[in-house]
Amino acid sequence: MDTQLLIGSTFEAGTEAEELILNPRTGAKIIDLMEASQAQIERAVDAAEKAFVTWSMTTPGERSGYLLKIADAIEKDADAFAALEALNCGKPINAVRNDELPAIVDCWRFFAGAIRNLHATVAGEYLPRSHLDDPPRSRRHHRLDRAVELSTDDDGLEARTCDCRQAIPSSSSHPNRRR
């Protein structure tokens, strides 16, 4: 059983105290698990913050694809997950296999679909971030600084990007507002 920690893109063993994991039904030892040190936790948090910069620039389609891959991987290894969960929690393996794991996989697939249904300003740009001329946002200071402005005239609908940092007219004075 692989129990290493994933920190950034590297797997490593925990370096702190050993935690004995027992089967609650029998009391038998499942494994001795090394806990993460404070330094490993801090490196993991730093790696997650760094990864967020890239993740925040992915499109909803890309995010959805990643979440679907996770669901597929859980489903593919369902028997191994069920055996481990049954051992660790002392519950019947069929309850894990037939009730819990399908619900877990369904949650990943639900959110993979949901991310594609969020409004663009919430979900992020629908085009990869590299298509925009702004530098990447800092990892701790996020704000909406670009949007799409839609306007209509006799020639039809026009869409163009606009800089949201500029003053936005009040709704009462906006030329497209219906009175």
pLDDT digits (tens, 9 = 90+) for 98-156: 999 999 999 999 999 998 887 655 555 555 555 444 444 444 444 444 444 555 555 55
Evaluate whether residue 14 is within a structural domain.
yes
Decide if 100 contacts 131 (C-beta within 8 A).
Answer: no
Residue 140: its pLDDT value, please?
Answer: 41
Domain for residue 129, yes or no?
Answer: no
Mean per-residue pLDDT, 7-18:
94
Structural domain span for residue 39: 1-55
What region, left, alpha or beta, does residue 156 occupy, with left being phi > 0 and alpha being psi -120 to 50 degrees?
A: left
State yes or no: pLDDT of 34 exceeds 90.
yes
Buried b (16+ CB within 10 A) or exposed e, 49-60: eeeeeeeebbbb
Q: Which amino acid is at 108?
A: W
On whether residue 29 sits in a domain, the answer given is yes
* Stretch 1-24: mean pLDDT: 91
Q: Which pTM was predicted?
A: 0.62
Does the residue 87 lie in any domain?
A: no
Residue 10 lies in a domain: yes
Q: What is the DSSP letter of 58?
A: S
